[in-house]
Amino acid sequence: MVSMNLHQATTALPALIEAALNGEEVVIAKDGKPMVRLVPCQERKTPRQPGRLRGQIRISDDFDAVDSEIIEMFENGM
């Protein structure tokens, strides 16, 4: 695992990217606390298929209905 402070990482970014691409875990820290993990992007194995869930999702008829109790909580507080 490669762990580097943020200030050091700004100057060593190309090397850190290469390490991540080679499978190493790269962690960038700030004040000694891990903040982010650098990982390579992965391409989708199969293309996205819009509409795959058609017929499997149901939205209630009253989905957009106004709930007077919730409106009252927002307007008058709890």
Tokens standing for residue 65 = 């209905």
Tokens standing for residue 27 = 């962690």
What CATH number should be reported for the domain whose range is 1-41? 3.40.1620.10
pLDDT bracket for residue 46 (50, 70, 90): confident
pLDDT bracket for residue 13 (50, 70, 90): very high
pLDDT digits (tens, 9 = 90+) for 49-71: 899 889 999 999 998 898 888 88
Q: Which pLDDT score is estimated for 12?
A: 92
Give the bridge partners for 3, in sequence order. 27
Amino acid occupying residue 55: G
Q: Which pLDDT score is estimated for 7?
A: 85
Of the CA atoms within 13 Å of residue 55, those in its CB half-sphere come to 1
Q: In the chain, what are the domain boundaries?
A: 1-41
- Predicted TM-score (pTM) above 0.85: no
